Structure 1
Amino acid sequence: MATSIVNTDKSFTAAEKPHKKKKKWQSYALLFILPSFLLYTLFVIVPTAGSVYLSFTSWDGISSDVRYIGFANFIEIFQSPRVHNALKNTMIMTVTLVLLENIAAIAMALMVDKVRWFRNLFRSIFYFPTLLSGIVMGFVWAMILNYNFGVFNQILTSVGLGDYIVDWLGNPKYAMLSIILSTVWKGAGYYMIIYLAGLQGIPQELNEAASIDGAGGWQQFRHITFPLLAGSMTVCMVLSMISALKIFDQIAVMTDGGPGFETETLTYIIYKVGFGELRQGFGTALAMVLFLIILIITVIQVKFLQKREVQL
């Protein structure tokens, strides 16, 4: 009887050893995570909490006078025609950019995937604009679209289309379109890489079988390629939507929110109000509203696109 008790104790001790070893490694893992967590807390969590507080104040961003004013900033946001106009411009740019960037990215990915010669060259050419910063891209396109000496107007003149020359960045009808097209030129290459990875993951046997059955190129894309790109499309559309809602660099360089307020978006009005008009409290409140808009739209978009993936 005594022998059996001793054996039981030994087996219990042996079972405890892996558990203790696991706990020891978990402690070491926490030590490795701790520096990153402290930096994240210091530079993300604490400023975010401070921003929530500042959104309820009338702070000017410079003085030490931080006066609590309750929901006055948020009431002004929902009553301000300027904010309503900026929200409208933001939504127009977002919807248009998401559609055009993804259409262009899919088209470029299909082209690169099908081409036999110079595939890496075309991939590099399409991806190169992504490497440029928004500021550099804005300056480049501002010079290209300049009314007096811009390359685009000079090309129109040289081919006999001088009657179609307009001030692309100074005309309210074309300023937003110019920003959208230049942004598509810059961003589509990034999403092309994601779609290209999705295309290369599609089994070629499916297209070959469809071709044998008489399906043409468009039918193969519609019934095979496009549905199987659902996962890549979810990622690209969410990233494109978030990027479009936060667009700032191109507007700051190309139009400065003008002409008038025609290209002023929520991110740009946050900058103008917070740093130009020294209303940091109001600007922070507007940033909180933009954060909620991005969060809500992202959640809805992800749920819709993931549901489409399941159905496919």
Structure 2
Amino acid sequence: MSANLVKAEQTLAVANPKRKRKWQSYALLFILPSFLIYTLFVIVPTAGSIYLSFTSWDGISEDIRYIGFANFVEILQSTRVHNALKNTLVMTISLVVLENVAAILLAVLVDKVRWFKNLFRSVFYFPTLLSGVVMGFVWAMILNYNFGVFNQMLDAVGLGSWMVDWLGSPKYAMLAIILSTVWKGAGYYMIIYLAGLQGIPAELNEAASIDGAGGWKQFRHITFPLLAGSMTVCMVLSMISALKIFDQIAVMTDGGPGFETETLTYIIYKVGFGELRQGFGTALAMVLFLLILLVTLIQVKFLRKREVQM
């Protein structure tokens, strides 16, 4: 059915109520397959998870005992959950800031370079193509205390006293995960910022340059404010990704040493599948869902307000 024919049908439908109802029926038929799939794989599992969060199910037996709000009360009282929440917030704030700063710097660099621009884009974007598991294994080998490349380089240049068990030390394990995740994710957000940079009229910077504004002033007063829309998208995406981080932790530290790098997503996995407490794990998942929803709404509202002000 061509676009003109569809438009004609819609026009006739407006004039004729019976045709309008017929057109709406056809529209519902087109929507129905997608709605059924969404219901089957999203709505039904979500409803089931809400129910399981009020049970003591172990994930294996057929005995699903309803225990009310006991799981949520335990969440409020558990020091392990409090520690995981703290780690999640520290990791999220760090990743949102560092990933966006690195992405903006890379985007400006790639936008200004004259030669091999596509090569630089590809090199910076390549880590994004790696899965979290692959990236975790790569960095686990690089940061290994005994044979890792990083420690061997320190030893080779006479800085052997700086050698540290980066993934086994409570002081550095979180930092190692954050920096490796920035290495992986910055290239993705760079592409979004690069698209924003290319949408800025060149005449603005040229006029500012004629008026005597240097590179920093042009960036501060022209480029940065006009990147507000791209920044809103990137910060929301990086925040959601950071709150759900799992692969890197599972491969690099397994939540350790101790519980130093255990986040909400990882504790959900540990208690649900390792300790066979699916009911408690599902309750934690509901809390994480509400946390992501709340933080996203606050962040979007703040960033949209900032866009208007800038």
TM-score tier by shorter-chain length is: over 0.9
Q: Deviations over 1:34-64 (max 9, x none)?
A: 1111011001000000000000000000000
> 2:13·2:20 contact (CA, 8 Å) conserved in 1?
no
The answer on 1:224 being equivalent to 2:222 is: yes
RMSD value, Cα: 1.2
**1:33: how far off?**
1.5
Query: Which one-letter code corresponds to 1:267 in the other structure?
Result: T
Quick one: structure 1 residues 271 and 219, their matched pair in 2 at CA, closer, same or farther if it must change by over 3 Å?
A: same
Residues in 2 aligned to 1:15 and 1:108: alpha-carbon distance in whole angstroms: 52
SS in 2 for 1:268: helix
Aligned ranges 1:151-170 → 2 under 5 Å:
151-170=149-168
Q: Please state how far the C-alpha of 1:171 moved relative to its aligned partner.
A: 0.5
Residue type of the alignment partner of 1:171: S
Question: Once the two structures are aligned, what percentage of the paired residues are identical?
Answer: 86
Mapping of residues 169-188 of structure 1, within 5 Å = 169-188=167-186
Identify if the C-alpha distance between structure 1 residues 203 and 75 changes in structure 2 by more than 3 Å, giving closer, same or farther.
same
- Cross-structure match for 1:64: 62
Alignment partner, residue 294 of structure 1: 292
Find the residue that maps to 1:163 and give its secondary structure: helix
Say yes or no: does 1:258 pair with 2:262.
Answer: no
Supply the AA of the counterpart residue of 2:107.
A
Measured against aligned partners, the alpha-carbon deviations of 1:144-185 in whole angstroms (never above 9, x if no partner) come to 000000011111111111110000000110000000000000
Cα distance in 2 between the residues matched to 1:15 and 1:29: 12
TM-score, normalising length from structure 1? 0.94
Pairing of 1:64-213 with structure 2 (within 5 A): 64-213=62-211
User: Partners of 2:148 and 2:198 in 1: how far apart?
Assistant: 40
Letter of the structure 2 residue corresponding to residue 26 of structure 1: Q
* In 2, Cα distance between equivalents of 1:217 and 1:243: 32
Distance 1:156 1:214, change over 3 A: same
Q: Deviations over 1:265-303 (max 9, x none)?
A: 000000000000000000000000011110000000000
Amino acid at match of 1:157: D
Q: Which amino acid aligns with 1:52?
A: I
Q: Could you tell me which amino acid in structure 2 is paired with residue 76 of structure 1?
A: E
- Give the equivalent residue in structure 1 for 2:7: none
The equivalent of 2:33 in structure 1 is 35
1:136 partner amino acid: V
Where does the alignment leave 5 or more consecutive residues of structure 2 unmatched?
A: 1-11
Deviation at 1:247, TM superposition (A): 0.4
Give 1:24 deviation, angstroms. Answer: 3.4
Q: What is residue 273 of structure 2 aligned with on the other side?
A: 275
Report Cα offsets for 1:235-274 as digits up to 9, x if no partner. Answer: 0000000000000000000000000000000000000000
Paired letter, 1:201:
G
Corresponding letter in the other structure for 2:70: A
Distance change (3 Å), C-alpha of 1:170 and 1:195: same
Q: Do structure 1's residue 241 and structure 2's residue 235 form an aligned pair?
A: no
Name the CA distance, whole Å, in 1 between partners of 2:115 and 2:69. Answer: 61
Question: What whole-Å deviation, never above 9, does each CA across 1:38-95 have from its counterpart, x for those lacking one?
Answer: 0110010000000000000000000000000000000000000000000000000000
- Cα distance in 2 for partners of 1:153, 1:30 equals 62
User: CA offset at residue 29 of structure 1?
Assistant: 2.4
The amino acid that maps onto 2:209 is S
Deviation (angstroms), 1:15: 8.6
Task: Name the aligned partner's letter for residue 149 of structure 2.
Answer: V
**Residue identity opposite 2:35 in structure 1:** F
CA contact (8 A) 2:13 2:23 kept: no
Q: What TM-score results when the alignment is normalised by the length of structure 2?
A: 0.94
Q: 1:156 to 1:26 in 2, by over 3 A?
A: same
Structure 1 residues 112, 25: CA separation in 2 closer, same or farther (over 3 Å shift)?
Answer: farther
Aligned equivalents of 1:15, 1:25: Cα separation in 2:
7
Could you tell me how far 1:30 is from its partner in structure 2?
1.8
Equivalent runs, 1:2-41 vs 2, <5 Å = 17=15, 20-41=18-39
Instruction: Tell me the CA shift for residue 22 of structure 1.
Output: 4.7
The 2-side partners of 1:146 and 1:270 are apart by 27
For 1:121-155, what per-residue CA distance to the aligned partner results, in whole angstroms no more than 9, with x for missing partners?
A: 00000100001000000000000000000011111
* Aligned partner letter, 1:207: N
Larger radius of gyration: 1
